[in-house]
Amino acid sequence: MTTQAMIESDTFQAAFEALDTQSPLHELRSKGFERFRELGFPTRRDEEWRYTNIKPITTTTFKPASGSITKESITPYTLSDTSCHQMVFVNGRFAAELSDVGTLEAGVRLESIATISESSFDMIAPHLGSCAEIEREVFTALNTAFIEDGLFLLVPRDVDLEKPVHVIFITTLGSAAVVTHPRILIVAEENSRATIIETYGSDGDGVCLTNPVTEIIVGENAIIDHYKIEQESEEAYHISSLNVRQHRSSNVTSHNYSFGGRLVRNNLNCALDDEGCEATFNGLTIGHGRQHVDNYLRIDHNKPNCNSWEYYKTVLDDQSRGVFCGRIYVAPDAQKTDAKQTSMNLLLSEEASITTMPQLDIFADDVKCTHGATIGQIEESQLFYLQSRGIDKVAAKTLLIYAFANETIAEIKIEELRTRLERVLLDRLPRGELLQGGL
């Protein structure tokens, strides 16, 4: 561990010691903290962090976030109350007054982790930490050390959760740098179905570190639709980790949208642990200013007859930087694997840069694995085509970027979310208002 990291972990040490040792979560926290001390923060010498420098994080002293907000501050992020079960967390803590759980199907548990760990800890104990990798990922270890609150969702056998669960994490920002470690645990039992939307936002401007960890355990034949929307302040550091474990014939779709944040790193791990699983990972990154967005995927085909798709798009403007790493691992006996990986990138300015690493790690012979990556800019011929039809250059450019990026948004099944994200996308494009009316 470097000296700087030592100092850093000492500030975390103080915060860790301040936690309630009587909590049933404490054993797990201690394990996480121990692992965090062992690993230390990565540097660019570590292969997995080669293109993302987290020095700004390790050189900042973060305080635990606190404070409250009004209903108005969350309106930019909400969907209408009737269309979803809404859970709001302010500075990492559950805010009952802003949430609206509504009516749930029989047997479904949708609670805050703080509540459930006090009332029936046994329910979460076998799952919490079961698929998040504290061994390998230091930020997951750090999150585990500070588990206090977050979302717990249990969808019992044969239940189809009709409305999506929308969980919003808001951090109030100010002069001091603050940190939150949200945790999400989703257990979908056999033949169940659920849709979860995670939205990350900020109230005000300032520096923060948001370090969420999501675990999804997907039972046999279960279907999970997961959305993650990053819309935090452009001074925010955001290091997230999504960990999925799939059982026989289950189906998971993940959508990952990054609009906000100064430095964003999304670790997405998916283990296909039994036959017949399908996993789809879609992503869209829109970067401008000095944003840095890094998506790091790993899909483990551990058993035969599973399919996976990765489809990631990045649009970068100004001095923004993007990183994509998608690794498909196929275990020695995972025959008949069909895996596809696509990374498409659009650079809009002279100063933007992208690094993409579509990797294949294959130990079985009867497989179909492909990957493709493209990096380019707006085609002159397409611009010319639109200009020749009387559309001015800026609008034509906007139209083409929109067409490129919107492909991943158009797939969103929740209509209200789709329109909202289309608007977010258009707001980021020059003269996007031109297209607003026409949608």
Partner 1 sequence: MSSTTTSDPIDQWEQTDEYKWGFVTDIESDTLPPGLNEDVVKAISAKKNEPDWLLQWRLEAYRNWLTMTEPNWQNLEYNKIDFQAISYYSAPKSDADRPKSLDEVDPKLLETYEKLGIPLEERAILAGVAVDAVFDSVSVATTFKDKLHEVGIIFCPFSEAVQEHPELVRKYLGSIVPPNDNFFAALNSAVFTDGSFVFIPKGVKCPMELSTYFRINAISTGQFERTLIIAEEGSHVSYLEGCTAPMRDENQLHAAVVELIAMKDATIKYSTIQNWYPGNAEGVGGIYNFVTKRGKCAGDNSRISWTQVETGSAITWKYPSCILQGDNSIGEFYSVALTNHHQKADTGTKMIHIGKNTKSYIISKGISAGVGRNTYRGQVKVLKQATNSRNFTQCDSMLMGDKCSAHTFPYIEVANSSSHIEHEATTSKIGEDQIFYCNQRGISTEDAISMIINGFCKEVFAELPMEFAVEAKKLLEVSLEGSVG
Binding site for partner 1 (CB under 8 A): 47, 51, 332-333, 335, 345, 347-377
Which residue's CB is nearer to partner 1, number 23 or number 382? 382
C-alpha atoms less than 13 angstroms from C-alpha of 74 in its C-beta half-sphere:
27
The Cα–Cα gap between 432 and 348 comes to 15
Helix, strand, coil distribution of the chain in percent, nearest 5: 25, 35, 40
For the CB of residue 327, give the shortest distance to partner 1 in the complex, in Å. 9
At residue 43, the 3 state secondary structure works out as coil
Structural contact between residues 171 and 210, judged by C-beta atoms closer than 8 angstroms: yes
The residue (of 72 and 366) whose beta carbon lies closer to partner 1 is: 366
Tokens representing 39? 């690993």
CA distances from 2 to 8, 43, 317, 334, 415 (A): 10, 9, 34, 40, 48
Residue 376 Cβ vs partner 1, minimum distance, rounded to whole Å: 5
Which of 422, 380, 349 lies closest to 432 in space, CA to CA?
422
Alpha-carbon span 196 to 167, nearest angstrom = 8
Closer to partner 1 by Cβ: residue 123 or 331: 331
Q: How far is the CB of 298 from partner 1 (least distance, A)?
A: 13
**Cα–Cα distance list, 25 to 140, 236, 278 (Å):** 15, 28, 33
By beta-carbon proximity to partner 1, the closer residue of 17 and 350 is: 350
Residue 240 or 291: the one with the smaller Cβ distance to partner 1 is: 291
Rg (CA), the chain: 21
Nearer to partner 1, 181 or 397 (CB): 397
Q: Cα dihedral sign for 65, 66, 67, 71?
A: positive
Q: How far is the CB of 184 from partner 1 (least distance, A)?
A: 31
CB of 309 to partner 1, least distance (A): 15
- Closest approach of Cβ 350 to partner 1, in Å? 6
Task: For the CB of residue 283, give the shortest distance to partner 1 in the complex, in Å.
Answer: 17
Q: 372 CB contacts (<8 Å, ≥6 apart)?
A: 341, 342, 343, 358
Closest among 257, 278, 277, 275 to 266, alpha carbons compared: 257
- Closest CB 368 distance from partner 1, rounded Å: 6
CB distance 89 to 67 below 8 Å:
no
Residue 51 vs 146, nearer CB to partner 1: 51
- Residue with smaller CB distance to partner 1, 375 or 435: 375
Distance CA 353, CA 290 (A): 11
Output 109 or 136, the one with its CB closest to partner 1.
136
What is the nearest approach in angstroms of partner 1 to the Cβ of residue 433?
24
CB-based contacts of 342, cutoff 8 Å, min separation 6: 310, 311, 312, 358, 371, 372, 373
Q: With beta carbons less than 8 A apart as the criterion, state whether 9 and 16 touch.
A: no
